[in-house]
Amino acid sequence: MSLLSKDSTQAVARVPIPASASAPVVPAAQAPAFTVREAPVERTFAAAAQSIGVDAGTTAILSRAFRDELDLSRDLQPGDRVSAVFDTGSDNSKDPSREPLAVRIMRGSTAHDVFLQKNRHGQPFYYSKDGVSPGPAFERYPLDFTRVSSAFSLRRFDPVLHRWQSHDGVDLAAPAGTPVHATARGVIRFIGRQAGYGNVIVIQNPAPFSTTFAHLSHFAKGLRSGSRVRRDQVIGYVGKTGWATGAHLHFEVHVNDVPQDPLKVDLPQKRSLASDELRQFESRVAQLTPLL
């Protein structure tokens, strides 16, 4: 048995009523109590979340949790909604915990949900219903390649220019026409031709990362500067345009605009709950999802 109150433009309380007066009644104080609040997105996700009682720190955590699925500065439109389930405590007080147990962004007809799970230190994290953190994940490699034909180096002899200079990425040898995939979601910052790179795409990924894909034979259809791409989306095909001696992909990863070795740089990965935590988490998800 649970107590549920719904806070929006109007307040609704729903309390189970016993079938008969003689039936034993569990005191309401012993029942889990939840408050569900929702608000329209009028300006930003942060403004909507804080309007329903989420504090600024938790709003920042939620923004990071949603950023693999949504660009909160671009994707939300007036009319989208944010809803959250709060624990009101066993006394059903009017001052619920400011860390919501579950949050939904309703974007048109599509729901994006995350659920609270604290670690052993009491720090809050939000996970998808499957127990996977929805933060940004990066693939290490953007294509199926045969070998690394040239490694990242601060000083390498350029076989085309015949001089020593830095090599800001890695060259991954593959047959011409091999599909090249985005290694993380992002926005295309540049797509076109540059002298040395030939046909090149530069993607701004979740901060502080950006990625560069060069010597492409051609680009995937429909892409332009400003296009949003998802992780694993085909963005182009291996070629040898620009200063290239054979078919390969020149691939760069930049952190705060500084080139890093793509084969060694630390990349954000998704976290998954351990099996013992997951069972309890899945039970809570089943309880909270119908309330959103």
User: Within this chain, do residues 199 and 245 fall inside the same structural domain, yes or no?
Assistant: yes
Is the model's pLDDT at 12 over the cut of 50? no
User: Within this chain, do residues 122 and 37 fall inside the same structural domain, yes or no?
Assistant: yes
Dihedral sign, CA of 233, 238, 241, 244?
Answer: positive
User: Within this chain, do residues 118 and 193 fall inside the same structural domain, yes or no?
Assistant: no
Please state the separation of Cα 154 from the chain's center in Å: 32
Q: Which of 10-19, 66-75, 89-98, 184-193 has the highest mean pLDDT?
A: 184-193
What CATH number should be reported for the domain holding residue 153?
2.70.70.10
284 within some domain: yes
Cα separation values, 19 from 4, 23, 27, 265, Å: 19, 7, 15, 63
Percent of the chain with pLDDT over 70: 81
Question: Radius of gyration over alpha carbons of the chain, in Å?
Answer: 25
Percent of the chain with pLDDT over 90: 51
User: Within this chain, do residues 286 and 209 fall inside the same structural domain, yes or no?
Assistant: no
> Degrees (nearest 5) of the Cα angle 259, 250, 178?
140
Whole domain around residue 221: which residue ranges?
Answer: 147-260
Bridge partners, 207 (sequence order): none
Is the model's pLDDT at 23 over the cut of 60? no
User: Within this chain, do residues 108 and 167 fall inside the same structural domain, yes or no?
Assistant: no
Identity of residue 47 = A
CB 70 within 8 A of CB 228: no
Please provide the DSSP assignment of 46-106 as one string.
HHHHHHTT--HHHHHHHHHHHTTT--TTTS--BTBEEEEEEE-TTTT-SS--SS-SEEEEE
Q: What is the pLDDT of residue 97?
A: 56
User: Within this chain, do residues 92 and 152 fall inside the same structural domain, yes or no?
Assistant: no
How many domains does the chain contain in total?
2
What CATH number should be reported for the domain holding residue 277?
3.10.450.350
267 within some domain: no
Mean pLDDT, rounded, for 34-57: 91
User: Within this chain, do residues 229 and 186 fall inside the same structural domain, yes or no?
Assistant: yes
Please provide the DSSP assignment of 146-179 as one string.
SEEEE--EEEEEETTTTEEEEE-SEEEE--TT-E
**Residue 171: partners with Cβ closer than 8 Å, 6 or more residues away:** 148, 149, 150, 248, 249, 250, 251
User: Within this chain, do residues 115 and 193 fall inside the same structural domain, yes or no?
Assistant: no
Please list, residue by residue across 172-209, b when 16 or more beta carbons sit within 10 angstroms of its beta carbon and e when fewer do.
bbbeeebebbbbbbbebeebeeeeebbbbbbbebbeeb
pLDDT digits (tens, 9 = 90+) for 75-129: 888 889 999 999 886 444 455 557 899 999 999 899 999 999 988 888 888 998 9
Cα–Cα distance between 214 and 244 in angstroms, integer?
10
142 within some domain: no
User: Within this chain, do residues 20 and 125 fall inside the same structural domain, yes or no?
Assistant: yes
Q: What is the pLDDT of residue 147?
A: 92
pLDDT digits (tens, 9 = 90+) for 262-288: 999 999 877 788 888 899 999 999 999
Cα–Cα distance between 149 and 159 in angstroms, integer?
12
